[in-house]
């Protein structure tokens, strides 16, 4: 049996950022915030926490009031037994936005965070100024086409099924989550060293408990219903940005028909973890997009158009 994990020690945010908590929609959520200007809400991915945006936060806070939220089941946020469908999690975010005094926000999300961000924009378009989602973006049937067996580019969807298994992830991974963190970084990042030892340990300790692993299962066990619900959404009408690295083709397939004003941009030398592999380039693209300007610099080769209107 593995040694029971120690309670995780919350990492300290960058200078000028501070931790906050809010009770909304029946759940206690943790967030980190700083800066001034238009509000920008960032949602992390799996197996990550708010810490994945640590390098980007000071850059973005020069332009926006940045709020990075650990959603239901993640990090220091509460891990209830239910409520992991993305409509409920989007409502969590909407109530948090209102709790913080905002009626309309910019919204960005990676991985599982991108699913929640998409549901937020679809359910609350009047509260969404602009939307950026990546790796993969909206939950669509394109996820079902991912291979379960290893592909030449390293991409496979083993976790989509594994994380849904009843009770097995908790029994196998409690106290051992560092194995998942390392495998994911080493296989899916172009630059695995960009996810350093300290960060890997932060992520592992955040997911090492049975409660945290059960919450992850909740995010994935609801995916089939999320796909069914998302298939009925109308096209989004706010501007949408979809950045991507090695797996941009998947993000394009998942999102190209879901908005009337959508732009795809390639982030060079990046795999799945854009916010850690290329934080400066991603920040620059997000700042330009959320400020309503053209791209800060061309980041796609001429053979890959960066703009599409679906």
Known catalytic residues?
Answer: 111, 220, 272
Q: Distances from the Cα of 73 to the Cαs of 77, 219, 260, in angstroms?
A: 6, 8, 32
d(CA 102, CA 25): 16
Q: In whole angstroms, what is the distance from residue 310 CA to residue 288 CA?
A: 21
Which single residue is written with the structure tokens 């400020």?
Answer: 291
Helices (H), the chain: 56-60, 86-99, 112-123, 158-162, 168-173, 178-188, 197-207, 210-221, 223-230, 248-255, 274-277, 279-290
Q: How far apart are CA 127 and CA 161, in angstroms?
A: 33
With beta carbons less than 8 A apart as the criterion, state whether 272 and 135 touch: yes
CA distance 151 to 155: 6
**Cα first-last separation, the chain:** 52
Distance set, CA 127 to CA 56, 163, 190, 226 (Å): 24, 32, 35, 21
Which residue, chain included where needed, has tokens 């990075």? 68
What backbone phi and psi angles, to 5 degrees, belong to 243? -80, 160
Cα of 290 vs its chain's centroid, Å = 17
Contacts of 101 (CB under 8 A, 6+ apart): none
Asked if 35 contacts 207 with a C-beta cutoff of 8 angstroms, the reply is no
What distance in Å separates the CA atoms of residue 50 and residue 38, rounded to the nearest whole number?
20
């Amino acid at each position: 049996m593995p040694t029971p994990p120690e309670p995780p020690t919350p990492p300290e945010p960058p200078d000028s950022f501070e931790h906050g908590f809010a009770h909304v929609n029946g759940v206690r959520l943790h967030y980190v915030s700083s800066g001034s200007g238009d509000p920008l809400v960032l949602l992390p991915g799996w197996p990550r926490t708010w810490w994945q945006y640590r390098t980007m936060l000071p850059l973005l806070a020069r332009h926006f009031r940045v709020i990075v939220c650990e959603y239901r089941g993640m990090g220091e946020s509460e891990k209830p037994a239910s409520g992991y469908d993305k409509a409920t999690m989007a409502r969590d975010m909407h109530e948090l936005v209102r709790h913080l005094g905002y009626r309309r926000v910019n919204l960005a999300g990676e991985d599982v965070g991108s699913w929640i961000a998409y549901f937020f924009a679809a359910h609350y378009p009047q509260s969404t100024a602009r939307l950026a989602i990546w790796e993969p973006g909206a939950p669509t049937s394109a996820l079902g086409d991912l291979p379960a067996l290893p592909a030449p580019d390293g991409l496979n969807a083993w976790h989509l099924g594994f994380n849904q298994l009843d009770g097995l992830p908790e029994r196998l991974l409690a106290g051992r989550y560092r194995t998942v963190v390392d495998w994911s970084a080493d296989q899916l990042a172009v630059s695995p060293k960009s996810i350093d030892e300290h960060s890997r340990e932060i992520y592992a300790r955040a997911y090492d408990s049975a409660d945290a692993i059960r919450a992850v299962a909740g995010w994935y066990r609801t995916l089939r219903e999320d796909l069914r619900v998302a298939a009925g959404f109308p096209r989004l009408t706010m501007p949408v940005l979809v950045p991507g690295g090695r797996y941009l083709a998947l993000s394009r397939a998942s999102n190209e028909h879901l908005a009337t004003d959508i732009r795809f941009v390639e982030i060079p030398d990046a795999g799945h973890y854009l916010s850690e592999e290329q934080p400066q380039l991603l920040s620059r693209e997000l700042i330009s997009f959320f400020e309503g300007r053209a791209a800060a610099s061309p980041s796609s080769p001429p053979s890959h158009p960066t703009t599409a209107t679906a």
